[in-house]
């Protein structure tokens, strides 16, 4: 399996985040990527390669150009008016307020282009997010040319909560969606995205919600109890031409590995029935027991089994890293997925 990583992704280094009513240390920190990298090297899973540099075209097929411009300039605009620290919204255009106009003020644009206050934009955010997109694109390109059967994109910051025109849930550019779009543009007729992060990938779902050419299937915590709270319910199944091409498998907090793999079997059946040409996996390992932001209980052996079951699709596969916050186990769990995949 090809492994792609860029140290430029470490430039996004939020010091603090707003969580549980307190401004505390950020969960989504550079150390996460370093841990995964170390574990991959230790397990001898293959050479770690830097990404190729891609232009913006695939990013702009997934994201709104006004949003991309905002991400590129927000921090400089924030500093230009004398703000210190990271740029964070403190107001949002909710029901009945107008979101059809782009505010001049950076505070207004932060409001328009984000959906939470836990996703700070700092000096290194855009360079890191842009590098992560290159990492995902390189993984997609290596499976699309048929030169490799599988590739792991060690992306950070994660992507699956980022929609066409808003950031949130620690995500800015939707790396998995960008990979899927690239595969479509290079000739795959149908691409399936399987999202196994603990949290629902609201961004990925909305990007492809009215399209039949990309199937989105997600196993995640019930949004009535867990972030992102407002999307990811079982009755969301796609719209317009995309009707039937979104499948959500929410599970209650406390679900064990047996329940999780039961949902996986349902997800796998939907993917096989779709007969995709390629598979993109949004791999979050925050389903691990003891993850500080989650309430499932997979162990390292379960992650190895997940890798085996992903390989069993027999498809060209790009695995894109998303969440996972238990810093002491995160690397080993990702390595276990990749080992399981390679072993099969
Ligand atoms: C990003 B990804 C816990 C709130 C946690 C954070 C969710 C972001 C997850 N009190 N909210 O999907 O791993
Ligand atoms: Zn997550």
Give the pLDDT confidence of 194-239 residue by residue, as tens digits: 999 999 999 999 999 999 999 999 999 999 999 999 999 999 999 9
Active site residue 149: no
Q: 139 to each of 143, 175, 242, 291, how far by Cα in Å?
A: 7, 10, 26, 27
Angle between helices 65-80 and 125-144 (to 10 degrees): 150
Burial class of residue 270, CB neighbours in 10 A (0-12, 13-18, 19+): middle
Tokens linked to 187 = 């000739």
Nearest-CA residue for atom 10 of ligand 1: 20
Q: Which residues contact 206 (CB under 8 A, 6 or more apart)?
A: 163, 164, 231
Q: Cβ distance 277 to 317 under 8 Å?
A: no
User: Among 12, 160, 161, 199, which one carries the catalytic annotation?
Assistant: 161
pLDDT per residue as tens digits for the range 104-129 = 999 999 999 999 999 999 999 999 99
Burial class of residue 63, CB neighbours in 10 A (0-12, 13-18, 19+): buried
pTM summary value: 0.98
Compute the distance from residue 64 Cα to the ligand 1 centre, in Å.
Answer: 24
323 lines ligand 1 (CB under 6 A): yes
pLDDT of residue 320: 99
pLDDT of residue 297: 98
Compute the distance from residue 314 Cα to the ligand 1 centre, in Å.
Answer: 31
pLDDT per residue as tens digits for the range 165-177 = 999 999 999 999 9
pLDDT of residue 226: 98
Compute the distance from residue 342 Cα to the ligand 1 centre, in Å.
Answer: 29
165 vs 333: CA distance, rounded Å: 32
Tokens linked to 19 = 């969580």
């Amino acid at each position: 399996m090809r492994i792609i990583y860029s140290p430029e992704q470490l430039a996004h280094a939020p010091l603090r985040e707003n969580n549980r009513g307190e401004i505390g240390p950020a969960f989504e920190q550079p150390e996460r990527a370093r841990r995964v990298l170390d574990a991959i090297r230790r397990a001898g899973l293959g050479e770690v390669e830097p990404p190729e540099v891609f232009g913006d075209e695939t990013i702009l097929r997934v994201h709104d150009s006004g949003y991309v411009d905002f991400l590129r300039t927000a921090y400089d605009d924030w500093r230009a008016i004398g703000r210190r620290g990271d740029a964070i919204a403190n107001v949002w255009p909710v029901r009945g307020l107008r979101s059809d106009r782009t505010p001049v003020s950076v505070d207004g644009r932060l409001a328009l282009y984000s959906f939470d206050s836990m996703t700070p934009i700092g000096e290194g955010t855009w360079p890191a997010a842009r590098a992560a997109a290159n990492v995902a694109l390189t993984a997609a390109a290596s499976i699309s040319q048929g030169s490799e059967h599988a590739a792991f994109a060690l992306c950070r910051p994660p992507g699956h909560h980022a929609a066409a025109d808003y950031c949130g849930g620690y995500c800015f550019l939707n790396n998995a969606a960008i990979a899927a779009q690239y595969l479509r543009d290079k000739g795959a007729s149908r691409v399936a995205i399987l999202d196994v992060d603990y949290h629902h990938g609201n961004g990925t779902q909305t990007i492809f919600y009215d399209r039949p050419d990309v199937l989105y299937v997600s196993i995640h915590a019930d949004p009535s109890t867990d972030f992102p709270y407002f999307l990811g319910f079982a009755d969301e199944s796609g719209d317009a031409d995309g009707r039937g091409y979104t499948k959500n498998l929410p599970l209650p907090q406390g679900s064990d590995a047996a329940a999780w793999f039961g949902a996986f079997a349902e997800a796998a059946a939907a993917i096989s029935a779709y007969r995709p040409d390629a598979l993109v996996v949004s791999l979050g390992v925050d389903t691990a027991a003891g993850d500080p932001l989650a309430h499932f209980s997979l162990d390292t052996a379960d992650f190895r089994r997940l890798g085996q079951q992903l390989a069993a699709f027999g498809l060209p596969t790009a695995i894109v890293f998303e969440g996972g916050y238990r810093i002491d186990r995160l690397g080993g769990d990702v390595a276990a997925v990749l080992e399981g995949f390679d072993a099969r």
